[in-house]
Chains A and B, each alone.
Chain A
């Protein structure tokens, strides 16, 4: 293959695109071929829009009680029926999704920041590598769910008193999930990437013209680990959403008057025979969200894998 005279076909493709192909446009082209990932992305956008816009459009107030119509099954007025206090189940489902998704994203962000920090430090500075990776291994062998439950039990009351019931619990759940559940995988992947990138020639070049260490990390190394961080982000979101709903399901998440999908599901299980939709609705939404996020993560991984991309 000669570099000086590019293939006519490639020139055509480049002309069609009208611009140079960046990494991300390349990734997007590859991503679009993954049917599952596209379906997942569509489903995820749909659910997000539904929980963001839905509560403004849907006519029922999720907190309004009406004791004349408690425990009704699905009907034309109340599509998913009503709960034991006569509140509309669908309205609560929509408003609950906001919190579940917000927790998912916030906890993912915490885990991602922590994981990237640990990974970059461990990969770049040889002295820190051993201790930080031992720490990561230690966190991986902690019993996650019991520990999460214990931490939340202990710090729920103090935080509720100092920051208010909603914000306090939100921050607690987000940080605890971020710290115990998802950063370890990010850290491992990022460390591996950094170890490889550190030896590349452009880093040597940067160093030889006198770039400072922190600039090498920020300008030259971080942009190159972004692709694996993206995959870790999607998987981390899925983990965080599942963990939050598991906590709420066990009754240790948000307070009872604060609907999240896990909470609604656990409340709904007591009324399975009266109105199954109260359990099926939130359960299906948790599952669909996690499923779509996982599919997106799968597609991203395939799209970012250079071995697969070069074939496409």
Chain B
């Protein structure tokens, strides 16, 4: 198992390098210019010096290499220093990725935005899984029953209706008509975990975005689960388990569920980019100032380093989740470990 984990983890590194090359390569074609937002009174030669100082005129591979060291070496060291309050090497002059529009290190801004995204995305991912697996298993177990038919219809709808439409419908119904929940997410609200009213405000503003995203995540997951359980239910080992007198609960939970979850783990990993897209769109609908919103603003401003950093972070998260799914797969299915 340990060998398998190491092999898988090592395989993620070249993937990330190639992805960073693709992202960097595409953005290098950008017509953007770090000096374009400066006042017009700055003379041309000073502009040229500013470009030079930001490394804008370096050859492609050098820029890519510099960016990679900044992203993968300097930033982690910086956060390590921040966390432990120490100084590793020349901590004063270490170069970091600087946003063109705000002139601040891109990662500092991203770190301010990260909690909102993780809150919404994480909650809805966990809730979605908790909802999807029981629903998928039960509707496969009772195939063609009322529960199955209604469930299939709802998952089909949840899977097909885009989040930016369910979100708007939710706002229209619960904010405009009923006035129950706020129509946008306020980041200025500081949650005090000792006061119920403060927690309640946070819950109230999270309900709509989280449930919209949960519906979307749960729909595709429960479709996968249902299909996988259906395939397993007709296999011989289920009949064996029943014929040796095991209770239905045991047959389903111990035997069928464990075998059915193996392909589901892979399918969920494949759905991860879709989940990120859903999160970006949900952030736009509910005006949550998370990573997705930052990305869209940065694209609008032509802020190339910021866009690169965020896109790359999304890629890192995708690869990390894929790795996690692969490891789960290896854990669930011993055959995979020894290929």
Contact = CB atoms under 8 A, between A and B. Distances in A.
Contacts of B162: 242, 245-246, 283, 286-287, 290
Q: Find the residue from B156, B165, B169, B172 having the highest chain A CB count within 10 A.
A: B165
A246 B314 contact: no
Contacts of A246: 162, 164, 277, 281
Contacts of A146: 276, 280, 295, 307, 310-311, 314
A102 interface: no
B134 to A, nearest CB: 22
Contacts of B302: 153
Contacts of B273: 140-145
A106 interface: no
Interface stretch (A50-58, A64-72, A268-276): A268-276
Contact of A149 (B29, B176, B274, B296): B296
Interface in B282-304: 284-285, 295-296, 299, 302
A279 interface: yes
A150 B299 contact: yes
B299 A265 contact: no
A287 to B, nearest CB: 4
Contact of A141 (B277, B299, B307, B319): B319
Contacts of B160: 238, 287, 290-291, 294
Contacts of A290: 160-162
B109 interface: no
A141 B285 CA distance: 25
A38 to B, nearest CB: 14
B171 interface: yes
A40 B338 CA distance: 44
Given A138-B18, A287-B165, A143 B159 contact: no
A183 interface: no
Contacts of A265: 164-165, 168
B311 A147 contact: yes
Contact of A154 (B30, B156, B159): B30
Contacts of B110: none
B280 A276 contact: no
A252 B156 CA distance: 28
B164 to A, nearest CB: 5
Given A143-B311, A145-B276, A291 B156 contact: yes
A13 interface: no
Contacts of B161: 287, 290-291
Interface in A106-147: 138, 140-147
Contacts of B307: 146, 150, 153
Given A149-B295, A294-B159, A141 B281 contact: no
Contacts of B157: 287, 291
Q: Find the residue from B18, B273, B281 having the highest chain A CB count within 10 A.
A: B273
Nearest to B322: A141
B78 to A, nearest CB: 23
Given A146-B311, A153-B299, A141 B15 contact: yes
A291 to B, nearest CB: 4
Interface in A18-77: 36
Nearest to A287: B161
A249 interface: yes
Given A138-B19, A287-B160, A287-B161, A145 B168 contact: no
A295 B311 contact: no
Contacts of A245: 162, 164
A56 to B, nearest CB: 28
A298 B26 CA distance: 36
B27 interface: yes
Nearest to A266: B164
Contacts of B319: 141
B139 interface: no
A218 interface: no
Nearest to B22: A142
Given A141-B322, A145-B276, A154-B29, A283 B168 contact: yes
Given A138-B19, A142-B318, A147-B311, A250 B296 contact: yes
Contacts of A143: 273, 276, 311, 314-315, 317-318
B19 A149 contact: no
Interface in B1-42: 15, 18-19, 22-23, 26-27, 29-31
Given A140-B270, A142-B19, A291-B160, A150 B27 contact: yes
* A-B residue pairs, 8 tightest by C-beta: A143-B314, A283-B165, A145-B277, A291-B160, A287-B161, A290-B160, A146-B311, A144-B273
11 contacts: A36-B153, A138-B15, A142-B273, A142-B315, A144-B273, A144-B277, A149-B296, A249-B284, A272-B171, A276-B176, A279-B168
Given A140-B270, A150-B26, A295-B156, 11 more contacts: A141-B322, A142-B318, A145-B273, A154-B31, A158-B31, A246-B162, A250-B284, A276-B172, A280-B172, A284-B165, A291-B157
